[in-house]
């Protein structure tokens, strides 16, 4: 090494300038740690300030600390508002162990920095930068500052603009680069923040790291690269499956799906309520099993893209579960996967859970292998439904009265109309079915055969029909429900049906029914049914129509759709023909009614019509 004493004398200040020039040529300035990001959007420069707005998140930690860890292999200074122990532990997690000699460059520095009370935060920050520059920071090196929001006055736009200009002036004067990562108040509230434009007016770059529908994006307002300035760009990001570095999302992969990356580092984590797996003997070892739903919610509180499996059983309170699902979704964002698994009871309000934030509701008796397949199928997906601000509003949509079974016709119209109106909030499906009675079947016989037990499921009789309302029921499930609630084959009782599954058609049908009730009020069978409760409905011994053939009632229900032949009773009186162009609804129950037949036969059916055959055995 040359002896400085033998060097020619230099003018005052030339030594500092020579050292600055030497470091300027030799210093290696690390770009931002986002793999695949164009150099024009990742470069940092001497004498420049770049700001990244980012709330606390795995993406913010990956960006800042992986960039800082790479920079510490050269002349760089890292400042953070964390305490010393936390700062050292975080660097250790990113591959830099400060306790080991040689883990950082000789001109690298790591410092904890806090604002001082009753002092201007920006002034305190610049004083700290000055002290570091004079004592240990390499000339024209880079400063990385985490938690910089603590040093600026975000409430006073004028003061904030002055602080930004002051910092930019210091960097330009002393030729140091500064990258600040900050989370100002109101970040991510979808409102305009003109104060930020004034704050960053003299900076070389400004960008925001935030989630858009569950995926992190690098949103560039402007970024200077040499003499060019790039602006208004949005780059989707993912995490590398190997080391959880941020990487630009390409959307495709060549050899394996892992190349596409993860939505968050915790995407492979599965948190399971033990109550949801009580009947399983062996569970995947990687799953995290916790005691109950409450523990699962607590464990997932800081998760981003993990999977949470909650239990719904006969002892589980629906309102509590609704609050848990809604809270998790609001706290953790769209990338979290929420699964509700039924246990020993079918969830009536699947659409409620889905509207409050659940990704899937797994039906009871679903085998564990299929549950694992569902968990795997949700990886990489995000929740995209609009959510109610208050879960109670959605819960009110599924609140039903205690009525079940038969109600008077006028009351039936009121109850169904109210239920449909409430359910509009979350588009809860319900079904209204009009069942046209056979000419020889009375209201009371059909009502005695209808056993409704679920609260909210009601039936009434008017004119020549029964009207059945299944609350929180899909149209595709109506067949199975009808077969379950009627104790006699439907073909013995009814000649056809009309189904209504959307709010508009149900409301129009209720309007028509209301007009019919006003014109010809039907009898109220509440008292009669109460007296005759438990007595079986008398079977009809008359012939019925099935696919155009006259058959005995016992055989009618056994005739498969499309059957061309059946036994014929010679003494039976032929029934009115069913039009050939009317097909059974959903395949195998009753034919659809001709719309014109409603006005032709809409007459009271308190007693059966006359028939040449006896109606009772």
Q: Where residue 222 sits, what CATH number does that domain have?
A: 3.40.50.300
Comparing 223 with 591, the larger pLDDT belongs to 223
Phi, psi torsion values for 20, nearest 5 degrees: -60, -45
Quick one: pLDDT band at residue 319, thresholds 50, 70, 90? confident
**Residue 275 contacts residue 343 (beta carbons within 8 Å):** yes
For helices 58-71 and 84-93, what crossing angle results, to 10°? 80
Buried b (16+ CB within 10 A) or exposed e, 284-294: eeebebbeebe
pLDDT at 313: 86
If asked whether residues 125 and 229 sit together in one domain, one would say yes
Tell me: the pLDDT tens digits for 108-158? 999 999 999 989 999 999 999 999 999 999 999 999 999 999 999 999 999
Lowest mean pLDDT segment, chosen from 13-22, 82-91, 463-472: 13-22
Q: Helix/strand/coil (H, E, C) string of 156-191?
A: CHHHHHHHHHHHHHHHHHHCCEEEEEECCCCCCCCC
pLDDT at 153: 94
**Residue 347 contacts residue 340 (beta carbons within 8 Å):** yes
pLDDT at 55: 92
- The one-character DSSP state at 221 is E
pLDDT at 432: 95
Element (H, E) at 120: none
Is residue 15 domain-resident?
Answer: no
Q: What distance in Å separates the CA atoms of residue 129 and residue 141, rounded to the nearest whole number?
A: 12
Comparing 523 with 24, the larger pLDDT belongs to 523
If asked whether residues 526 and 589 sit together in one domain, one would say yes
**Residue 615 contacts residue 540 (beta carbons within 8 Å):** yes
**Owner of token pair 């929740």:** 383
pLDDT at 594: 61
Asked whether the predicted pLDDT for residue 238 surpasses 70, the reply is yes
**Owner of token pair 């300038």:** 17
**Residue 332 contacts residue 300 (beta carbons within 8 Å):** yes
If asked whether residues 535 and 587 sit together in one domain, one would say yes
- Of the candidates 364, 394, 424, which is a domain's last residue? 394
Candidate ranges 172-181, 209-218, 309-318, 534-543; pick with highest mean pLDDT? 172-181
**Residue 53 contacts residue 187 (beta carbons within 8 Å):** yes
If asked whether residues 226 and 287 sit together in one domain, one would say no
Candidate ranges 88-97, 162-171, 566-575; pick with highest mean pLDDT? 162-171
User: For residue 267, is it left (φ>0), alpha (ψ between -120 and 50) or beta?
Assistant: alpha
Lowest mean pLDDT segment, chosen from 230-244, 254-268, 505-519: 254-268
CATH at 356: 3.40.50.2300
If asked whether residues 474 and 501 sit together in one domain, one would say yes
Q: What distance in Å separates the CA atoms of residue 451 and residue 16, rounded to the nearest whole number?
A: 95
pLDDT at 29: 64
Element (H, E) at 198: helix 194-199
Q: What distance in Å separates the CA atoms of residue 141 and residue 47, rounded to the nearest whole number?
A: 9
If asked whether residues 383 and 410 sit together in one domain, one would say no
Is residue 613 domain-resident?
Answer: no
Number of H helices, E strands in the chain: 19, 22
Comparing 18 with 204, the larger pLDDT belongs to 204
Characterize the bridge pairing of strands 307-313 and 337-343.
parallel
Is residue 506 domain-resident?
Answer: yes
The average pLDDT across 1-21 equals 39
- Of the candidates 360, 394, 428, which is a domain's last residue? 394
Instruction: Pull the structure tokens for residue 475.
Output: 């149209």
> Read out DSSP for 545-558?
EETTEEE-HHHHTT
Is residue 162 domain-resident?
Answer: yes
Is residue 258 domain-resident?
Answer: no
Asked whether the predicted pLDDT for residue 31 surpasses 60, the reply is yes
Where would I find the H helices in 285-408? 293-299, 318-332, 350-356, 368-377, 391-396
Is residue 608 domain-resident?
Answer: no
Is residue 614 domain-resident?
Answer: no
Instruction: Pull the structure tokens for residue 426.
Output: 């979350």
For helices 157-174 and 121-135, what crossing angle results, to 10°? 10
Quick one: pLDDT band at residue 608, thresholds 50, 70, 90? very low
Quick one: pLDDT band at residue 447, thresholds 50, 70, 90? very high
If asked whether residues 93 and 148 sit together in one domain, one would say yes
Q: What distance in Å separates the CA atoms of residue 184 and residue 549, rounded to the nearest whole number?
A: 78
If asked whether residues 390 and 278 sit together in one domain, one would say yes
Specify the number of domains making up the chain: 3
Quick one: pLDDT band at residue 27, thresholds 50, 70, 90? low
If asked whether residues 309 and 457 sit together in one domain, one would say no
Asked whether the predicted pLDDT for residue 184 surpasses 50, the reply is yes
The average pLDDT across 231-245 equals 89
Vertex 90, ends 86 and 93: CA angle to 5°? Answer: 140
The average pLDDT across 531-550 equals 46
Quick one: pLDDT band at residue 14, thresholds 50, 70, 90? very low
Q: What distance in Å separates the CA atoms of residue 522 and residue 443, rounded to the nearest whole number?
A: 10
Instruction: Pull the structure tokens for residue 250.
Output: 């390409």
Q: What distance in Å separates the CA atoms of residue 208 and residue 76, rounded to the nearest whole number?
A: 23
Tell me: the pLDDT tens digits for 364-389? 889 999 999 999 999 989 999 888 88
**Residue 30 contacts residue 74 (beta carbons within 8 Å):** yes
Helix (H, G, I), strand (E, B) or coil at 538: coil
Q: What distance in Å separates the CA atoms of residue 239 and residue 499, rounded to the nearest whole number?
A: 50
Q: What distance in Å separates the CA atoms of residue 419 and residue 89, rounded to the nearest whole number?
A: 57
- CA 426 remoteness from chain centre: 14
Centre a 10 Å sphere on the Cβ of residue 354 and count the other Cβ atoms it contains: 18
Tell me: the pLDDT tens digits for 67-79? 999 999 999 999 9
- Of the candidates 188, 214, 248, which is a domain's last residue? 248
**Residue 451 contacts residue 485 (beta carbons within 8 Å):** yes
Nearest to 398 by CA among 416, 420, 423, 421: 423
- The one-character DSSP state at 537 is P
When the pLDDT of each residue in the chain is averaged and rounded to a whole number, the result is 81
Quick one: pLDDT band at residue 400, thresholds 50, 70, 90? low
Domain range for residue 100? 25-248
Beta strands in 386-483 (DSSP E): 405-406, 431-437, 458-462, 465-470
If asked whether residues 368 and 426 sit together in one domain, one would say no
Is residue 611 domain-resident?
Answer: no
Q: What is the dihedral of CA 255, 256, 257, 261, to 10 degrees?
A: -90
If asked whether residues 476 and 390 sit together in one domain, one would say no
If asked whether residues 457 and 377 sit together in one domain, one would say no
Beta bridge partners of 591: 584
CATH at 481: 3.30.70
**Owner of token pair 């959007």:** 41
Rg (CA), the chain: 37
């Amino acid at each position: 090494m040359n002896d400085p004493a033998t060097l020619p004398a230099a003018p005052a200040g030339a030594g500092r300038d020579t050292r600055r020039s030497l470091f300027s040529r030799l210093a290696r300035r690390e770009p931002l740690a986002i793999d695949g990001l164009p150099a024009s959007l990742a470069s940092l420069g001497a004498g420049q300030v770049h700001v990244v707005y980012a709330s606390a998140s795995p993406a913010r930690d990956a960006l800042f600390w992986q960039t800082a860890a790479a920079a510490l292999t050269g002349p760089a200074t890292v400042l953070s508002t964390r305490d010393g122990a936390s700062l050292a532990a975080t660097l250790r997690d990113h591959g830099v162990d400060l306790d080991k000699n040689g883990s950082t460059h000789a001109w690298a520095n790591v410092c904890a920095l806090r604002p001082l009370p009753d002092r201007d935060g920006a002034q305190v920050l610049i004083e700290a930068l000055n002290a570091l520059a004079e004592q240990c920071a390499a000339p024209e090196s880079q400063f990385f500052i985490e938690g910089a929001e603590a040093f600026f006055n975000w409430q006073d736009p004028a003061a904030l603009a002055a602080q930004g200009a002051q910092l930019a002036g210091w960097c330009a004067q002393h030729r140091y680069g500064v990258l600040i990562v900050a989370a100002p108040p109101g970040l991510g509230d979808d409102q305009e923040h003109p104060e930020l434009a004034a704050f960053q007016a003299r900076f070389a770059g400004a960008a925001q790291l935030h989630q858009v529908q569950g995926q992190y994006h690098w949103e560039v307002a402007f970024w200077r690269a040499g003499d060019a300035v790039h602006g208004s760009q949005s780059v989707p990001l993912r995490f590398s499956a190997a080391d959880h570095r941020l990487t630009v999302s390409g959307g495709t992969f060549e050899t394996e799906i892992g190349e596409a990356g993860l939505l968050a580092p915790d995407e492979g984590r599965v948190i399971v309520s033990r109550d949801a797996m009580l009947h399983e003997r062996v569970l995947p070892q990687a799953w995290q099993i916790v005691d109950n739903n409450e523990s699962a919610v607590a464990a997932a509180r800081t998760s981003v893209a993990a999977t949470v499996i909650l239990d719904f059983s006969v002892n589980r309170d629906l309102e509590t579960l609704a609050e848990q699902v809604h809270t998790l979704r609001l706290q953790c964002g769209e990338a979290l996967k929420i699964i509700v698994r039924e246990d020993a009871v079918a969830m009536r309000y699947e659409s409620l859970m889905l509207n409050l934030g659940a990704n899937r509701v797994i039906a009871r008796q679903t085998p564990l292998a299929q549950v694992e397949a569902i968990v795997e199928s949700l990886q990489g997906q995000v929740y995209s439904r609009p959510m109610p601000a208050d879960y109670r509003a959605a819960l009110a949509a599924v609140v039903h009265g205690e009525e079940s079974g038969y109600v008077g016709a006028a009351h039936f119209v009121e109850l169904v109309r109210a239920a449909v109106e409430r359910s509009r909030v979350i588009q809860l499906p319900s079904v209204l079915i009009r069942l046209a009675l056979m000419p020889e079947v009375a209201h009371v016989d059909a009502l005695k055969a209808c056993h409704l037990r679920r609260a909210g499921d009601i039936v009434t009789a008017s004119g020549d029909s029964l009207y059945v309302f299944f609350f929180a029921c899909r149209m595709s499930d109506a067949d199975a429900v009808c077969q379950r609630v009627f104790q006699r084959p439907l073909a013995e009782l009814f000649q056809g049906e009309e189904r209504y599954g959307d709010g508009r058609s149900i409301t129009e049908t209720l309007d028509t029914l209301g007009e019919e009730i006003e014109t010809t009020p039907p009898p109220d069978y509440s008292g009669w049914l109460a007296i005759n409760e438990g007595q079986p409905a008398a079977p009809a011994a008359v012939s019925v129509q099935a696919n155009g053939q006259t058959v005995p009632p016992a055989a009618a229900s056994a005739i498969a759709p499309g059957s061309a032949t059946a036994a014929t009773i010679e003494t039976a009186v032929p029934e009115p023909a069913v039009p050939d162009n009317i097909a059974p609804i959903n395949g195998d129950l009753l034919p659809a009614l001709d719309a014109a037949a409603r006005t032709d036969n809409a007459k009271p059916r308190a007693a059966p019509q006359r028939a040449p055959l006896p109606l009772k055995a």
